Structure 1
């Protein structure tokens, strides 16, 4: 038989490139990467001995029998082991996402063990192949060993992939890559059966391996672009792997007031500073895996015990000097979190949530926080809250309550602030202070905010608010929503769907959203074109000043309740000065936290246009709010006195 080797050389060339990337670059010490390297070795071994065995079998005369048998045995062993290693690679990929997905071990090992037994005894039994004076001959179990082995492991792999698809733990591209890789191998096996003289199966295998490399092994997939450090995906893989082997160490740090520093120094300078800090950490701790998790958070992971106190002291000492480079000079502070022990939870994502929660606490307390059982319980509670938020969004059960707004000039209720509430079937009533923060951290705040906006629009569509004397309903926009460039078009689409004009609404934006000035101004301009009106919420809780606020088209500023109540606990000139300052520029003032008649009178005297607080009413359900407004219109003096 005349064999054709045209495809082999391209296969070896691509294989050589992947060897360079996989064996001469640092990769994560996780099972998937180990299996990928083994797959490359198995492919190289099989290709080489495939060519050698075919060449020697064609010109067998004069070649020692032991050499012929050695090459043939090596090829067959490589062929079946390559299929086995490919399955192990797929299994490691799937188990990174869901560790409980697995095939029965005895079944997986039995196939390759039987195949190897038949192959290794063939020089004597002739069951797979035989060599005699007339040359090389195919044995009666040849096809069974090669193709039954190959299709068995492809079937096992597909079963794992489909199980992962059913549990929704794979992304769309990951599903396509895995199933596509299996399909390529099926086509390759068929091609080898039909055209055995063409050594094309190795090329199909190389193509499948290349697909896996591009989809899963490419180092860029696990590198954070700003810093060149590992990203969150890499951290999750490390935690999954380290969690299988006992205790490991984690040291995390967060740059304090990161958003404000980014606004102060500028995005470009801050990104340059992050790269300098990343290089410092990588150089200072070469025995650790260093990652950047966005928002000024770095994390170092190691198997060995880390000297946490010394690491804190070293970094604090380094922070006493600026992070300096060409055109960069940053003065920063940091807070720290440490952990040593086994992975406390099944999912690495949950552990990262523990770290994020602990970093927030460390920044607030300005001290090293050790993740312990208390932190684990708090993080578990947050995970339950997050699940409740996701359920409420999915089932459209986020409730909207309305807290009345009293107009001091009109001397009546003129509007309300829409407030979200979640009553979960498992957790009951959840405090907004809990679920809002959790939703912001998980990224679901956008869906939650839009669901509230839609329900407010439905309320305005169903109620004759003019007859009730309601001018506008205030709706909160989270800072994350304000950073979304597509937010205006989505809100406009919702309002149109319910035939609601933006003149019936007032959009409340918190101080922290002002940090992203350009995006926020662009979004506000788009909404202004639809007659939207804006209010700055919670003034006094951040770093905004009067002139900074005036850069934005706010019609009124809402003073935070802690700011208002501080004035009544100890009178000072700050509150009146702020009210006078805004009013001189035509900006109205809304005061939160009004709890007594005395507060209502004094704030009215100081010039506040709108009052909000428990003195007037707590947040009410839609039906109770409508009844409350109707009642106050009939007898305003009896209901509200001051």
Structure 2
């Protein structure tokens, strides 16, 4: 409507003389405007509204803003067309109706602009919980709405006068407000860039850019209504990148997925909506897939998911992957946490009685009550991960409600995660050496290199604490590099022959062994410090035997460089002995727990196992030697190497150097 006044007089003359408006359009319109783009967008908007409305979208503020965007855009598009037609023959309509239809357009235009900004603010999580920021950024919209509403009396935006529709002095404020919100939106995207996913970055940037192009095109081609066309493109981008319900739905169970839980719980916690979360985990899920097959396990998942939705229709059910479910119970419960779990157990017992699936569905559950969630700023994802991993053990101990002690365990894990990240960044991981005794040579001939961590805040952190954390988040790769490099640096500074150091054992984590760059990285580090690869015996864990092809490739590669490989922690995994014997491994390391079980009378078959390894021409290293009796017994059984506190605890480099000098008779 920007240039309507200039063409209006000629247009009325044309109408009076009965001239046709030559337009390449399916319909003959009164006004000179081209509605093709606007009309084409209307069916798309209606279909999207209906489709989105009939799908189960997320009950969060982000979805509410998307609703507002779609509705206001449809109103804006429709009223824009009607208003252009009405003001062309304005004398045929009451003045109040002209104001009404134009008000509807301007208000929808203003609200749509704010809703798009609010959507960006909500998805970027930038100041979306700041009341002051929301008030300040809403002020332009409030001002524009007031100006529009007051227009019949103040004529600030437009007027219906003797010559029909006319733009007034403050008309450009409508577009200025749009430019303001686009600029702030881009600023929010930039500020939250690092924490946004690639999909969200692309979606937010592209739809804001397209909106800007649409405004420019509208200004350049005033007679073509293109704003709605660019708006619907933006809406489709939002839908495809963030609002499509299928993005938040697990395809197997039809329940909402982990991403949906993350968004909903974050929205509830920010708005201080109370809720509790029941986590459920299928016991032996991975083993069930191996035994019964993926198809049958999926059938069991679907049966349980369907039961969850029918039994708890007023709660939100989620499937978190790997046999883990969650149930979000909104509001303050009318029962105590123990009572809620009793009700759950009763319902679950009924499910077990009626369950017709082939795969057993033994489920452990932990309730994270509102008192835990509201009283702690800890991330819910960390609590859920703890529940999924520990619910079976906690249930066996009689615990089915998340306790403060469990929260402390989660906090400790987060602190360890932070300490690991900091230590990696500062290269603060230390290497200690635990001597390995040769039963044949009656002396210490080598050592195992072990990672140690001393944090400025937490102090000494046990490997039992930081290794699982590092393996879970992938930091174990960098820890392995630092330990290997520092081992090479130590070997470079000592006379290994003089000290009697024939070999150093290096642990390789499962994640390291799955890396195709492992061989190159190890070779480069050793070569940089002039240490031959034949100096190292790399220890792989028993669980890796399951990936036979990968471990075969890594073993052959390392052996071609002169290195040796050992099977570490034998007795803690579930590998097949036949597969183990096929691998070109010549050293097997018996785990300390296995050793202790033997001396406690719980593993009487250990001598037979040792004989089996001997017949396969494999050398045997036994861990956990703590007394002379244990040492002598294992020597009699035929073990080649022994390691444990009886010989020495793990030692820092200088102490290990002194230890070896003393044991080899040199200074």
Q: So what's the TM-score if we normalise by structure 2?
A: 0.86
Aligned-residue offset at 1:94:
1.9
Aligned-residue offset at 1:619:
0.8
Is 1:114 matched up with 2:143? yes
Q: How many residues align?
A: 628
Q: Choose from 380, 383, 386 the match for 1:354.
A: 383
Aligned-residue offset at 1:492:
5.1
Equivalent position of 2:326 in the other structure: 299
> Residue 338 of structure 1 contacts residue 369 of structure 1 at CA under 8 Å; is this kept in 2?
yes
Aligned-residue offset at 1:549:
3.0
> Residue 343 of structure 1 contacts residue 351 of structure 1 at CA under 8 Å; is this kept in 2?
no
Is 1:105 matched up with 2:134? yes
Q: Whose radius of gyration is greater, 1 or 2?
A: 2
> Residue 591 of structure 2 contacts residue 624 of structure 2 at CA under 8 Å; is this kept in 1?
yes
Equivalent residue runs for 1:521-540 within 5 Å:
521=552, 523-524=554-555, 527-540=558-571
Structure 2 alignment gaps of length 5 or more: 1-6, 8-31
Aligned-residue offset at 1:92:
1.2
1:532-557 Cα shifts (integer Å, max 9, x gaps): 53322222234345335324433222
Q: Which is further off, 405-414 or 346-355?
A: 346-355
Q: Distance in 1 between matches of 2:547 and 2:254?
A: 24
C-alpha distance 343-631 of structure 1, shift in aligned 2 (>3 A) = same
Equivalent residue runs for 1:503-514 within 5 Å:
503-514=534-545
Aligned-residue offset at 1:571:
8.3
C-alpha distance 427-572 of structure 1, shift in aligned 2 (>3 A) = closer
Equivalent position of 2:157 in the other structure: 128
Is 1:308 matched up with 2:341? yes
Q: So what's the TM-score if we normalise by structure 1?
A: 0.89
DSSP-derived class of the 2:431 partner: strand
Aligned-residue offset at 1:612:
0.6
Q: Choose from 426, 443, 450 the match for 1:419.
A: 450
Q: Distance in 2 between matches of 1:319 and 1:553?
A: 47
Q: Which is further off, 233-242 or 434-443?
A: 434-443
> Residue 188 of structure 1 contacts residue 200 of structure 1 at CA under 8 Å; is this kept in 2?
yes
Q: Distance in 1 between matches of 2:345 and 2:547?
A: 31
Q: Distance in 2 between matches of 1:98 and 1:503?
A: 57
> Residue 91 of structure 1 contacts residue 102 of structure 1 at CA under 8 Å; is this kept in 2?
no
Aligned-residue offset at 1:73:
0.6
Q: Choose from 578, 587, 592 the match for 1:547.
A: 578
Is 1:444 matched up with 2:472? no
Is 1:250 matched up with 2:277? yes
1:252-282 Cα shifts (integer Å, max 9, x gaps): 1222233444444455654554445444434
Aligned-residue offset at 1:81:
0.7
DSSP-derived class of the 2:90 partner: coil
Q: Distance in 2 between matches of 1:532 and 1:231?
A: 45
Q: Distance in 1 between matches of 2:409 and 2:127?
A: 24
DSSP-derived class of the 2:441 partner: coil
Aligned-residue offset at 1:21:
3.7
Is 1:94 matched up with 2:127? no
Aligned-residue offset at 1:194:
2.6
Q: Choose from 190, 202, 209 the match for 1:183.
A: 209
Is 1:169 matched up with 2:199? no
> Residue 239 of structure 1 contacts residue 348 of structure 1 at CA under 8 Å; is this kept in 2?
no
Aligned-residue offset at 1:622:
2.2
C-alpha distance 41-633 of structure 1, shift in aligned 2 (>3 A) = same
> Residue 129 of structure 1 contacts residue 139 of structure 1 at CA under 8 Å; is this kept in 2?
yes
TM-align CA RMSD: 3.0
Q: Which is further off, 17-26 or 303-312?
A: 303-312
C-alpha distance 513-204 of structure 1, shift in aligned 2 (>3 A) = same
Q: Distance in 2 between matches of 1:453 and 1:266?
A: 40
DSSP-derived class of the 1:79 partner: helix
Aligned-residue offset at 1:487:
4.8
Q: Choose from 46, 56, 64 the match for 1:26.
A: 56
Q: Distance in 2 between matches of 1:126 and 1:99?
A: 35
Equivalent position of 2:640 in the other structure: 609
Equivalent residue runs for 1:368-447 within 5 Å:
368-447=399-478
Q: Distance in 2 between matches of 1:548 and 1:387?
A: 39
Q: Choose from 330, 340, 356 the match for 2:369.
A: 340
> Residue 246 of structure 1 contacts residue 342 of structure 1 at CA under 8 Å; is this kept in 2?
no
Aligned-residue offset at 1:484:
4.9
Q: Distance in 2 between matches of 1:226 and 1:460?
A: 54
Equivalent position of 1:37 in the other structure: 67
Q: Choose from 157, 162, 166 the match for 1:137.
A: 166
C-alpha distance 443-30 of structure 1, shift in aligned 2 (>3 A) = farther
1:64-100 Cα shifts (integer Å, max 9, x gaps): 32222111110000111111111111111122x7765
Aligned-residue offset at 1:421:
1.1
DSSP-derived class of the 2:59 partner: coil
Q: Choose from 349, 359, 382 the match for 1:330.
A: 359
Q: Which is further off, 446-455 or 181-190?
A: 446-455
DSSP-derived class of the 1:558 partner: strand
Aligned-residue offset at 1:323:
6.8
